[in-house]
């Protein structure tokens, strides 16, 4: 009977590994997707900031053109002043020159604001480039490893399943059936080593008589609460007699 209990314990070890690999089958693709999304997000952020700079440069060019046009008009009006013959026309032209000069001053103020914004955007672009470089570096460093792990999981699961099944065929059918039901319905855990007089899986307190029987290793004993196969941890004590 001890051999059967040890076999069940070893089968559970294989199922623990299988369970771990199945968790990885769900988690590793998520990690890979997060890495890819990180690169996409960093790329989108860089493009967005560069688009802002393009719009700002467009606004700067428009202001530069307005300043150039106003200055050209001022120069033209200044030339015309020497040709004015009436005081009324002189005042009107001077008024127009003053208006244009004020307009140029306002445009130059706007120009300074845009220059400050451009300086800020340049810093943001550099930060976005740094973030993209970091994301791409992480992708290069992890993508291949993650893909290799994902590709390997199926074979790892199959290897452990085959090893478990090789052990299972040495057990009576009814025990195999119960073990399989527990694996399927009890969170991939069919075998529970007892702990401090309780089921190690669900914590159910074991009756004194059952505790004694567990230490005798004379039969398969199931938890009265969760149904798992219980094993006393002294099973592997070297001093235990077979």
Tally helices (H) and strands (E) across the chain: 4, 3
Structure tokens that stand for 54 in this block = 């393009």
CB 105 within 8 Å of CB 29: no
Query: Which residues belong to CATH 1.10.287.1490 in the chain?
Result: 19-168
Residue 200 DSSP one-character state: T
Residue appearing with tokens 């399943």: 161
Distance of alpha carbon 175 from alpha carbon 164, whole angstroms: 14
Distance of alpha carbon 84 from alpha carbon 86, whole angstroms: 6
Please tell me which residue, 156 or 237, carries the higher pLDDT value.
156
The end-to-end CA distance of the chain, in Å, is 9
Kindly report, residue by residue over 56-111, the tens digit of the pLDDT: 999 999 999 999 999 999 999 998 888 888 889 889 999 999 999 999 999 999 99
Predicted local distance difference test score (pLDDT) of residue 84: 83
CB 85 within 8 Å of CB 93: no
Structure tokens that stand for 136 in this block = 């791409």
Kindly report, residue by residue over 210-238, the tens digit of the pLDDT: 999 999 999 999 999 999 999 999 998 85
Q: How far lies 169's CA from each of 4, 7, 174, 176, 242, in Å?
A: 11, 10, 11, 8, 22
The domain made up of 19-168 has a fold known as: Helix Hairpins (1.10.287)
Mean pLDDT of 19-45: 95
201: confidence class by pLDDT, cuts 50, 70, 90 = very high
Residue 242 has pLDDT above 60, yes or no: no
């Amino acid at each position: 009977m001890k051999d059967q209990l040890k076999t069940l314990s070893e089968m559970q070890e294989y199922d623990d590994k299988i369970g771990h690999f199945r968790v990885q089958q769900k988690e590793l693709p998520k990690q890979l997707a997060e890495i890819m999304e990180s690169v996409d997000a960093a790329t989108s952020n860089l493009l967005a900031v560069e688009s802002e700079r393009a719009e700002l440069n467009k606004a700067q060019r428009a202001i530069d053109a307005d300043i150039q046009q106003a200055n050209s008009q001022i120069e033209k009006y200044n030339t015309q002043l020497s040709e004015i013959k009436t005081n009324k026309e002189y005042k009107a032209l001077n008024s127009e020159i003053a208006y244009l000069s004020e307009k140029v001053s306002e445009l130059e103020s706007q120009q300074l604001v845009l220059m400050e914004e451009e300086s800020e955007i340049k810093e943001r672009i550099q930060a976005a480039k740094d973030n993209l470089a970091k994301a791409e570096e992480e992708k290069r460093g992890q993508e291949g490893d993650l893909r290799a792990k994902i590709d390997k999981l199926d074979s790892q699961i199959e290897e452990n399943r085959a090893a478990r099944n090789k052990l299972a065929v040495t057990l009576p059918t009814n025990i195999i059936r119960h073990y399989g039901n527990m694996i399927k319905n009890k969170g991939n855990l069919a075998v529970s080593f007892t702990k401090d007089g309780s089921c190690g899986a669900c914590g159910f307190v074991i009756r004194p008589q059952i505790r004694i029987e567990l230490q005798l290793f004379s039969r398969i004993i199931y938890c009265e609460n969760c149904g798992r196969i219980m094993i006393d941890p002294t099973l592997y004590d070297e001093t235990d007699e077979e």
